Homo-oligomer: A and B are copies of this chain.
């Protein structure tokens, strides 16, 4: 037992210099899943995901980003069996007619993108539009999940619930346990907020055991895990901040398991960011996630508001823009993305089919079993051989 502990310590911490120590962490590109003794027929694999009283066919949630979820796409995703989160501080609650704004964003050149976003976000948020967007979703009998940042969560809480929202997401880049501010109104008390809220509250993002555990203790129904890894996120370059997803998810899943064993209450871990293909989603769950939140794959669908572009929600910052705009192109429909059939063979479509196939290959009957499959460290570093193969695929070389 004590030997095992030492081993764990040996593996986890290195000395950078002086007395500065750091833990070794892992991302999806460094791990891979291993088939074991059992395989399953694909129809035995259950991918369903339950949040509060709502059951979804699969544990894939569309991100609360302007380029990913409008009230229209929220409804469409729900029809296919999934969940989408509408950001209530983005374009859709600032502009009645957002189509022309979206057109401006997708037509601007790269150098003018940040100033344009800063300009667009000067328009204030309108309460009537918050109500309208929620009702647009509810009018189609879809599950309505909406997100706001902690600093405005209390202000909009009543309006959001009264408008009929089903799930309340409180999300910013980092939600800590304690926020220090000279302005007392700026201090968000998650525990009190949740106690006063009648619908399930999802909170994030965080990356560590401690913070995830505190969010659970505060009553969160689910915790969003992931800082820095998203395709449209530049936190690591700008702020030096970011934790690889495999480690973040495994740490927070550990908090969930210990909290569950002590309290009997199961709080979902939702991996958020850094996943672009089916294999990444399978790895996130194998690391311990109950569900994932993804942005860029949705941004590539025909139904996406971004018209083939994808951008981060930190971009509009008037002082320190941090997201970036990526031309992701348009690959296919929402249905092809989620349920297939896939027209491409690179893992970019039929994400649910990929998850089920992976589960059947790994012998996992449901998400809880998928969280237990065997993982190996197998870095997919760019070797000479891979560059050569890649070049061949692209038709380069002899």
Contact = CB atoms under 8 A, between A and B. Distances in A.
Given A9-B7, A241-B361, A319-B353, A385 B16 contact: no
A253 interface: yes
A292 to B, nearest CB: 12
B239 A343 contact: no
Nearest to A339: B319
Contacts of A238: 277-279, 345-347, 354, 357-358
Contacts of A174: 35, 39, 361
Interface class of chain A by DSSP: mixed
A168 to B, nearest CB: 20
Copies per complex? Answer: 4
A200 to B, nearest CB: 24
Contacts of A342: 114, 319-321
Contacts of A32: 25, 228, 236, 240-244
Contacts of A398: 329
A211 B374 CA distance: 14
A74 interface: no
A140 interface: no
Interface residues of A, number: 144
Interface in A376-397: 376-390, 392-393, 395
B376 A387 contact: no
A16 B43 contact: no
Nearest to A151: B41
Contacts of A345: 114, 234, 238, 315, 321-324
Interface stretch (A60-68, A89-97, A127-135, A201-209): A201-209
A181 interface: yes
21 contacts: A16-B246, A17-B26, A17-B253, A22-B26, A24-B376, A25-B376, A28-B385, A29-B381, A29-B385, A34-B207, A35-B241, A36-B210, A37-B177, A38-B176, A114-B343, A173-B361, A237-B278, A239-B357, A244-B378, A276-B385, A318-B341
- 5 closest A-B pairs (Cβ-Cβ)? A18-B254, A17-B250, A240-B282, A240-B279, A238-B347
